[in-house]
Structure 1
């Protein structure tokens, strides 16, 4: 679809269309789950929409049964058959509270290998789209699939692989293969029209344009695009026009209009005429007041001289719009009289007036900043989307990325930050440029000194866009952003929110923090994400994170660095949370928390006595703030003291059976 979702900097709950593949998103409202992170709601909204418009292709039932029975299905189908859409819907139907959707990207920078067990979390829904892979990539992926399938089985996850159409599948994997065939084109078109709100009595009647369109076997994306054209033709049609006219307008919009637009531009010799033509194409559907002000801004941006005529001798806007085949509707919004004429105009000026390109970015952000009630978020997003579309259409992703960075550095308003976020979102969503933008964002986050408000923009892009389908990549980028924050801020909050939704991601972050010897910024991140509640929670699996050997090693390493390198006032509140959790948890997991703290202090070498004393003092302080009352906290302090004595060789290893101090702190 041509309509883009919107991204709000101040509200991470806004709807966003993310990811590549056969997903066609309508910007209509969906019921939101306010208690879930934004990136989880985004992914679920996308998949919910896709599930509504998908016509189950032949083979879908067999694929569903295979996935339910084995946890794995390998889809094979011709390009355009809807195989990727089918894969996403299959995973949507497997969604559980304990897992996240994750699109695997083997070979990309900082991505885990397919055979790495850390790639799969409990209940995850994994998509491995290799529909465009070459022979080398497909062969390498097949070699790793047995190990990946083993991890999927152990974690009760689900994996859907989309294999290349001309790929050869290993005999050991043939059992999991299901062939997906193209569903009937007319049925697909009608489903999209129905979801778009088209009257049943209209789209069910016979129509010559529709008959001609569905007579050709077309990709599912092309059918969806045509349905969207029919929808937009209906929205701009006269009251006396019906389905046949809407479809005819959609058909005309699919024609190549390059010569037509070139002839139109050649006949418009004056700068104000061309400025108006460009403005209407970039702000198509905006209110006439916005069109007028934006046209004046474009002329100023291009330093076009004034004609010097008195105001009342100027042509009025209605006359000027007629000259470019546009008009103002009853609601005051301006559109070209021909459907999708705006796209042809944009392409013409971008391709044939290259010196105009750098000025369009400056002009666009000045329009975004306009203080006008008609300059709504939809108008701003539409303008950025259309400008980004020209950069991406012509392979100039670097130019779009630089533009978003410049807007963020020069930002004096929230609207500019929103525009920068939306520009980067367009790049990430583009199938041809998504990988480039993911890599560029990595370089920004890891290796660049970010000026202005660009770090805030990258936080929102990582948390609300990238995390929806590539949470591992979002994790690493947010880690770097949090690492560079001068004090705990939005990056650390977003990182904390991200790992809160996934045991696997929390495990991976802890491993990252501990692996290279925690630095001072690492310790700040660790104290934020070492919440003992998710570490000891076993509601989704038989074993809690704190019971895993590798997690214990990471926690001990980080706590050792904290005790050795930070003042007690800094880590005391976090240690108190561990002690309170240990007091509340009557199972062995609570005692494990104490063991890890003591083990961390024991590694402090010559300063271990100081570390033990600091832990004991912290336990005494924690007794006064224990939410469950002092009794269990006093017992926890005694148990901690016993473990410290054992570690120092000062007492028996036998655990004390009762409290000798009663309930007084």
Structure 2
């Protein structure tokens, strides 16, 4: 049920990182004008499809009712029963206008503790998958669940916990536990076949192969894979074949073909034969022209000598494909004659010719860079996915990460940068290696010197991939990237975009900026994300961010650092926005903006008089462009002067009558 998402990179800029300082712009390959959707949209499409394909397991109705009534449900079920899919569907069904769906990963870098109230935003949908947790992890999570539930309730959010099967649950949490059963295998298979566009009159027939397959208790993932094999068998079948033949072909494809492939490779002794075999397996379904060109490039990558024969004495492609049990279809696309034979070929060469592995990365990059009519985005993504699968299948996540980094450093085209993004996406989406890749991306963003175009690849990975399910981790990694870049600043833009859609993330970023002594890069980020409009907006909650004590502390700390450490020309436009917003008829929230500015200036010690004067001058300049008209703007300036006088001990606490006009 987990579809492999494709990612295209949009609106990026390229950098070269020259040391421990800033990243300077370099005129290299750029990722722009992408023709593929952002990953967040792909992720939403996957959730929508998951809802359509899911057969409600026994207990799903009770889980829905529990989640609706209490905001929390704890799912328990056998491994392979579809618990994770059920959890995601439950959360999608309770989606609100506010809030986002994200997975909680306690203990990972950039993740808040489960008991931290800042973890939950208004209307969020939270998934806590502890199905694979050990006793220590489950015990720690159980201790934090009451506090997490309290935050979920206060924020009108929803939480689904997947507990370890038959794990211990505290008495006060037993009420929220719902057992999830295994849905009927035949019904699940038929639902998948229907979603694949299989004719109803075909898959509803009784079939011996299907009966044998569903007669064994299988994980839901395995049933989904078999349905996909049936779909592919249908697509490559002869016109006279029907459902029974498709299922029989799918059954044969599930057999272990390692010995069969090993015997075939032993028969094919010539380098061109093996090169073509590898090429078809890695570019399965590509056009014959691409297969021919790619096989030549593989021989060149491996420095295989030419046979020296005249061109017309060479075997033609049709004959060579027949030798490896492949053929060209009516539209010129190449497939092996046996279903799923390509995966067995890939596994054989990867496992039994380890010296070939580094050359495959170089060769794949050369294919990605081809400017050819039939080298489409789908062909490039398919090649990268198949190569990534071999790294991940054999536990070589580090090799895949290094390959993506190398492609980014050596990038000569947008296509190669997109291939690097897609390779890292494969690692992030792999259940067994996702955590490793999230940690590796953190190390790159926070500590590594980024060469070539790698920084822009990481920006897009964080903004379009990681942010889809782990926004807190994406926020932290983009923060580190933004601290090291100069204009143009795609990491900073991505940060701004993230907090624009989430009060919780804006609060968290402000807290991060104020937690330590803000550096000049931190202040640049602050000025970008301190937009007074979302800070004073209370349309979705009972109070605005600016009315929260913790946010006020963060804003005051950062504005103090700005006034004390940056030239007025840098911060004046941002202060003017605050002053214009204060004059915009928002009442007490507008006055709070003035209070925070004055409080920040008051902390400037011996330079506070200079800071007060600069704020006053900014207010006078803002009067000319205030949206509420000159009268209200002047009243706001007078209220600011009054607050400055009070801070200096020079005036009464009660504002003058003209300044009171700013109140609603």
Please tell me the TM-score bracket, short chain as reference: over 0.9
Secondary structure (helix, strand or coil) at the match of 2:521 reads helix
In 1, Cα distance between equivalents of 2:243 and 2:3: 21
In 1, Cα distance between equivalents of 2:41 and 2:255: 37
Q: Which residue does the alignment assign to 1:358?
A: 358
1:39/1:467 contact within 8 Å kept: no
After TM superposition, the structure 1 = structure 2 runs for residues 397-436 of structure 1, keeping only pairs within 5 Å, are 397-436=397-436
2:38/2:464 contact within 8 Å kept: yes
Give the TM-score normalised by the residue count of structure 2.
0.94
Secondary structure (helix, strand or coil) at the match of 2:178 reads strand
Q: Which residue does the alignment assign to 1:221?
A: 221
- 1:658 is displaced (CA, Å) by 2.1
2:534 matches 1:534: yes
Q: Which residue does the alignment assign to 2:47?
A: 47
Q: Which residue does the alignment assign to 1:172?
A: 172
After TM superposition, the structure 1 = structure 2 runs for residues 175-574 of structure 1, keeping only pairs within 5 Å, are 175-574=175-574
- 1:11 is displaced (CA, Å) by 6.4
- 1:660 is displaced (CA, Å) by 11
Unaligned runs of at least 5 residues, structure 1? 13-36
In 1, Cα distance between equivalents of 2:418 and 2:38: 16
Secondary structure (helix, strand or coil) at the match of 2:128 reads strand
Q: Which residue does the alignment assign to 2:33?
A: none
Q: Which residue does the alignment assign to 1:640?
A: 640
| Deviations, residues 336-377 of structure 1 (Å, cap 9, x unaligned) | 011110000000000000000000000000000001010000
- 1:488 is displaced (CA, Å) by 4.9
Unaligned runs of at least 5 residues, structure 2? 13-36
1:207/1:244 contact within 8 Å kept: yes
| Deviations, residues 109-146 of structure 1 (Å, cap 9, x unaligned) | 23211111111111111100000111111111101111
In 1, Cα distance between equivalents of 2:122 and 2:302: 56
Secondary structure (helix, strand or coil) at the match of 1:638 reads helix
In 1, Cα distance between equivalents of 2:537 and 2:113: 28
2:40/2:465 contact within 8 Å kept: no
Change (3 A) 1:638 1:502: same
- Structure 1 residues 363-372 or 536-545, which shifts more? 536-545
1:53/1:192 contact within 8 Å kept: yes
2:639/2:659 contact within 8 Å kept: no
Secondary structure (helix, strand or coil) at the match of 1:160 reads strand
In 1, Cα distance between equivalents of 2:9 and 2:467: 16
In 2, Cα distance between equivalents of 1:380 and 1:169: 47
- 1:653 is displaced (CA, Å) by 1.1
2:576/2:619 contact within 8 Å kept: yes
Q: Which residue does the alignment assign to 1:63?
A: 63
In 1, Cα distance between equivalents of 2:11 and 2:220: 33
Change (3 A) 1:122 1:545: same
Q: Which residue does the alignment assign to 1:24?
A: none
In 2, Cα distance between equivalents of 1:582 and 1:310: 82
Please report the RMSD computed on the Cα atoms of aligned residues, expressed in angstroms: 1.5
Secondary structure (helix, strand or coil) at the match of 1:178 reads strand
2:81 matches 1:81: yes
2:147 matches 1:159: no
- 1:629 is displaced (CA, Å) by 2.8
- 1:651 is displaced (CA, Å) by 1.4
Q: Which residue does the alignment assign to 1:16?
A: none
- Structure 1 residues 268-277 or 227-236, which shifts more? 227-236
- 1:537 is displaced (CA, Å) by 0.9
Q: Which residue does the alignment assign to 2:624?
A: 624
Give the TM-score normalised by the residue count of structure 1.
0.94
| Deviations, residues 420-473 of structure 1 (Å, cap 9, x unaligned) | 000000000001100000000000000011000000000000111111111110
- 1:97 is displaced (CA, Å) by 1.9
